[in-house]
Amino acid sequence: MHSFRTELENPVVAQEIIELDKKIRAYQEGSLPEEKFRSLRLARGVYGQRQPGVQMVRIKLPFGKVTFRQLLKIAAISDEYASRNLHLTTRQDIQIHYVSLAKTPELWAKLAADDITLREACGNTVRNVTASATAGVDPDEPFDVSPYAQQTFAYFLRNPVCAEMGRKFKISFSSSDKDTAFSYIHDFGFIPKVRWSDGVEERGFKVLMGGGLGAQPVLAEEVYDFLPEDQVIPYIEATLRVFDRYGERNNRNKARFKYLVQKVGLSEVLRLIEEERIANRNTVFVVDRRLVEAPVLPETAIDAVPVVDERAFQVWQKTNVFAQKQSGYYGVYVNVQTGDLSTDKARRLVSGIQGHVADDIRITQGQNLLFKFVREASLPHLFNLLVELGLSKPGFDSTADITTCPGTDTCNLGISNSTEMARVLEGYVHEFYTDFVFEQGLKIKISGCMNSCGQHGLAHIGFHGSSVKAEGKVVPAAQVMLGGGTVGDGKGRVAERVIKVPTKRVLQVVDLVLSDYKIHKSVEENFHGYYDRVGKDYFYRLLKPLSDLTTLTADEFIDWGHQDTFATAIGVGECAGVVIDLVATLLFEAEEKIDWAKQALELGQYADAIYHSYSAFVWGAKALLLDRGVNASTQIAVINGFDDVYVASGEFRFLTSFSERVLQINKYEPSKEFAEAYLIQATAFYYDAAERRSALRVNS
């Protein structure tokens, strides 16, 4: 029926795509509930847009690496199925927009042919594993973290322990103590460390746990100053098992890992992690340091070319070019405004850089691109090419390099047009504060809502979309955040809410803050130092006149980039997935997990078989509890609740208790014998639960 059945070499991927196609048809025919289908498509990178009838597709690129061929394929896919634009995200993904739902299996198959996946790019899964874009070439790095990020991505992709968690889980690897991958705001952040024992190098990582941005930012806590490299993946796995079992599932606003840490305490979480480690697939996991191949360096002769603008070239070279740790080679940053790159520019870019840069482009956390292994003789050619494509702005990672999410362009949750605001502010800084092109200690970040997809929570100057009321109308507004940012080596600062102003006054906010900082800071004082010295109230008083709504002009009732009067139109966000409470659907999923357990057992994947059996227990128990009106919010509450409701009443009997039977999972190492026995027990429970549900429906 579809060509993707035969095109793909990987049978697992081929089957997933066929299944997605079947599910789409079932959904369109009305036989698959909308909420169940939404959860399924999110786990396959298909996200509902603000505009009805079309989807955003998120393409998962581990640690932001993309080859020439892959970038060209993604551009071709966007031409054929989307809006001829590539959006680079702060999580080093590429998103394409305005995709027809029915076309997503075909699109996925074409991407998979070039080893590109959508799997678990959205939904309640381990999201894209990020890393410093400079990993592998960073002069300050103890070692290249790219292989560790790649192995983490591969190990947890399609892993049952993190396929259907209560919420998403984010992991980052920074290349050095500068912490450019923001370890302190991740569920897990890793910073490479080296120690020596009897003259032998030992690699490991500082480990940060339980951080997150969103509407309520939380800084991660250090749990290891040195975790040996072969313990990283086992430790992540044990943690995910704990999160899956104990994490909140009903209230999505309290379902991130950081809230579990707050709820039970860090020491209890750490105890549960240690208790769970026996059940891991592996007690140690040695990462192949050659997993990410060293790029083939360009060797062609380079003809000398004059630059089109010598002065601009000098500024660009100072702010966007750095010497790699590999002698004689340079890294070159490309400033992609708002992260949006047209497919035409992407093709022209790839064509122009071949022979001048390594076939290993990295997407940065600031929505830009990094070219690696550039020879000095190639710099004039690259600069001229970027000028031609409108991508030669200087000031990478400076005040003039503003990070933003798509906002109301496409996102259901967007309140304000963050992309147009970013464009206006960048232009303003470049025109009136040219010296801030060299300032990397003061970053501006913008989100369309409070959820911080644009990272406003870790900005020195941050804005997020909001609204206020004046004259009986709704006015587009921006919440001003100040004082956040990276300190280094796992330490960071959350920006503080200072004041809310109409969005059309954000230029004045930036103007006042930058000019005040320039005039009054002491020599060598960075923005953090200045902010702490003068205090939050100082900035509140500085900006207070801008919040005065009695002086509004007609233009201020209209958001950036719009012509009509502002009106909030917020949809239902999907970035965290959905909660499924349908009894029949839960029982169906329990049966499905029994089948998956059998398949894993046949393949000798004992840890996976055991976890699928565990999930069948939980899903079946949750279904029966819902039949009694008990909506338990965590898996452990489901397990204990089943004992309270069904075992205590004698309706179900176990040798000891339901909880003891189910929680055998963390009492034994994965083995064929235990996997077989546990599957038999889970299957028997499923059939009993399904029969009881059927009897209840007949009697009712």
Strand ranges in 436-489 using DSSP code E only, listed in sequence order: 444-447, 461-470, 473-482, 485-488
Q: Mapping DSSP to helix (H, G, I), strand (E, B) and coil, where does residue 200 land?
A: strand
* pLDDT, tens digit, 9 for 90 and up, residues 642-666: 999 999 999 999 999 999 999 999 9
Q: How far apart are CA 617 and CA 492, in angstroms?
A: 41
Question: Which residues touch 306 (CB under 8 Å, ≥6 apart)?
Answer: 380
Residue type, 344: D
Predicted TM-score (pTM) of the model is: 0.93
Question: Which residues touch 400 (CB under 8 Å, ≥6 apart)?
Answer: 393, 394, 426, 429, 430, 433, 436, 437
Contact 523, 442 (CB under 8 A): no
The domain over range 4-112 is classified in CATH as 3.90.1150.10: no
Contact 496, 540 (CB under 8 A): no
* pLDDT, tens digit, 9 for 90 and up, residues 132-142: 999 999 999 99
Residue type, 552: L
Tokens representing 327 are: 């002698």
Contact 261, 269 (CB under 8 A): yes
Beta bridge mates, 85: 342
* DSSP collapsed to 3 states, 38-88: HHHHHCCCEEECCCCCCEEEEEECHHHEECHHHHHHHHHHHHHHCCCEEEE
Angle, CA of 209, 615 and 612, to the nearest 5°? 95
Tokens representing 692 are: 């009881």
H or E segment to which residue 532 belongs: helix 527-534
The CATH number corresponding to 310-389 among 1.10.760.10, 3.30.70.270, 3.90.1530.10, 3.30.70.3340 equals: 3.30.70.3340
Query: What per-residue confidence (pLDDT) applies to 700?
Result: 47
pLDDT < 50 positions in the chain? 1, 3, 5-6, 570-572, 576-581, 698-700
Domain positions in the chain are 4-112, 130-279, 310-389, 403-557, 583-699
Contact 461, 443 (CB under 8 A): yes
The domain over range 403-557 is classified in CATH as 3.40.640.10: no
**Axis-axis angle for helices 418-432, 506-520 (nearest 10):** 40
Question: Which residues touch 422 (CB under 8 Å, ≥6 apart)?
Answer: 337, 338, 402, 403, 404, 446
Q: How far apart are CA 417 and CA 449, in angstroms?
A: 10
Please compute, for residue 213, the number of CA atoms within 13 A of its CA located in the half-sphere on the CB side.
25
As a CATH number, domain 583-699 is 1.20.120.330
Q: How many CB atoms lie within 10 A of CB 587?
A: 21
Is the Cα torsion angle 560, 562, 565, 567 positive or negative in sign? negative
Q: Parallel, antiparallel, or unpaired for β 329-334 and 321-323? A: antiparallel
Query: What per-residue confidence (pLDDT) applies to 581?
Result: 39
Q: How far apart are CA 449 and CA 435, in angstroms?
A: 30
**With the CA atoms of 505, 509, 510 and 515 taken in that order, what torsion angle do they form, in degrees rounded to the nearest 10?**
130
Is the Cα torsion angle 330, 336, 339, 340 positive or negative in sign? negative
Q: How far apart are CA 100 and CA 200, in angstroms?
A: 55
Q: How far apart are CA 87 and CA 422, in angstroms?
A: 15
4-112 against 403-557: fold identical: no
Q: How far apart are CA 396 and CA 327, in angstroms?
A: 22
Query: What per-residue confidence (pLDDT) applies to 8?
Result: 60
Q: How far apart are CA 81 and CA 71, in angstroms?
A: 15
Tokens representing 421 are: 């605001």
Residue with tokens 């955003």: 56
What topology does CATH give the domain 130-279?
Answer: Sulfite Reductase Hemoprotein; domain 1 (3.30.413)
